[in-house]
Amino acid sequence: MNFGGNTIVVTNRNLCGTDFLARIREICMGDAIAIILREKDLPEDDYARLARSVNGICGIYGKKFIAHNFPDAARSLGIKSIHLPLPVFLSATENRRLDFFDEIGTSVHSVEDAVAAEKAGASYITAGHIFDTDCKKGIPGRGLPFLRDVCAAVRIPVYAIGGIKPQNIGSVIECGAAGGCVMSLAMS
């Protein structure tokens, strides 16, 4: 599965019409640079079991695995990369709960969020949603000018999210983004 650029896949197994782990293998055989296992409906124990499997598949194919929203589960599995919602990230950094991790990402929806994330020590950010997408049906994308402003405001890598596909990945990179994130394209 190829996405046409410096792409991170964000999972949602509920969109996957086939065997989820088979889809992860297919993604890992393509050009994605990383997978964020974002399964918001799972309790932490179930998430940890799934994370162990997905992390193993990523390791076989040399892809980076990024845990989402469960630092304790990630820590117990020895996973050193995590992505957190901004409020969780800011709270956790204040309490020094993230010292274990080598890479910490967070999601932003404004230039102010991006600056706050960088100041708090984020390694990278996802900014969005950039284009209209079925995942945010009825909510217009923030657009390329928004992405350009976010990229100009921070020094850390920015990954665009929301409606990213091979046909527009070049335009987000032209705005200064390190790449893009895909969910629906990879999962459905």
Q: Confirm whether 68 is a catalytic residue.
A: no
Q: Which of 30, 47, 41 is nearest to 82 (CA)?
A: 47
**What pLDDT does 166 receive?**
93
pLDDT of 87 higher than 80: yes
**What pLDDT does 23 receive?**
98
- Block residue for tokens 């994605």: 32
Q: What percent of the chain is predicted at pLDDT more than 70?
A: 99
**What pLDDT does 96 receive?**
75
What domains are defined for the chain?
7-187 (3.20.20.70)
Tell me the C-alpha distance between 104 and 38, whole Å: 14
Instruction: Return the bridge partners of 82, or none.
Output: 67, 104
Q: Which of 68, 83, 109, 129 is flagged as catalytic?
A: 129
Residues 35 and 11: beta-carbon distance below 8 Å: yes
Residues 6 or more apart whose Cβ sits within 8 Å of residue 102: 80, 81, 123
- Reported as a single tens digit per residue, the pLDDT across 127-174 is 999 998 877 778 889 999 999 999 999 999 999 999 999 999 999 999
Instruction: Return the bridge partners of 84, or none.
Output: 106
Q: Tokens representing 70?
A: 């469960």
**What pLDDT does 4 receive?**
80
Instruction: Count how many residues are written for the chain.
Output: 188
- Reported as a single tens digit per residue, the pLDDT across 91-139 is 998 777 899 999 999 999 999 999 999 999 999 999 999 998 877 778 8
Residues 91 and 63: beta-carbon distance below 8 Å: no
**What pLDDT does 117 receive?**
98
pTM > 0.75: yes or no:
yes
